[in-house]
Amino acid sequence: MQNRIAFVTGASRGIGRACALALSSAGARVVLAARQVDKLEQVAAEIRAAGSDAFVVPIDMAAPDSIRAAFSKAAKEFGRIDILVNNAAITKDGLAMRMKPQDWDTVIATNLTGAFVATQQVLLGMMRERWGRIINVTSVVAEAGNAGQANYVASKAGLIGLTKSLAQEMASRNVTVNAVAPGFIDTDMTQSLAQEFKDRLLAAIPLQRLGRPEDVAAAVRFLASDEAAYITGHVLNVNGGMYM
């Protein structure tokens, strides 16, 4: 992965941050993208302190113009993107019967449409280079469903469909497209859950623990590597066995 250029969305914390650090440690030069530039700069400082290259760009995944501008800045800095990790996502949970149209639209726009627009920015360059890795971070709930998250589940299930379609479109150009489906990972999003709910979760996970961002990042790093050259259109579950 030496000198490959990786672009990671939602890189300011949690899984995105772990992915950026993992790709950097494998030799990639990393573009860090998220809304919170101050947090991105902290991640960039970690990467630079380890002797690697990091470049920060602001991005709003619900705004196509912001996405295009972020990739344009990255292209001016590095010339190309070899690895794209579509990780950024939001939740706006609620029962379907009471879900506001805006909550549906915002989650789909950010998690699914935003990932598609980001992917469009790199396809031509990857085709030209005849090498590329696109990794979409989906979720265990995209496969199993989850009450109260119809918008989030639909967006993440849509990412799986997008992954498989793009894998077929891009295979002849040596561009692989895969997905990683995390289970419940110990991040800011899960730390706010009630302890009673966490206890029920743990009882449903054969490995008896929440995942770590580094568990997901290791899967992303593998799929981005040359060792994964014969894997495409695959959904790699990182969920401790809670869905098989």
- Residues designated as active site: 152
Is-contact 48 108, C-beta < 8 A?
A: no
Assess contact for 88 and 138: CB atoms under 8 A. no
State whether the Cα torsion 61-63-66-67 is positive or negative. Answer: positive
2: Cβ contacts below 8 Å, ≥ 6 apart: 27, 28
- Could you give the strand order of the β-sheet that contains 235-238, starting from the edge strand earlier in sequence? 54-58, 29-34, 5-9, 83-86, 132-137, 175-182, 235-238
Q: What CA–CA distance (Å, rounded) separates 86 from 194?
A: 28
Q: Specify whether the backbone of 51 is left (phi greater than 0), alpha (psi in -120 to 50) or beta.
A: left
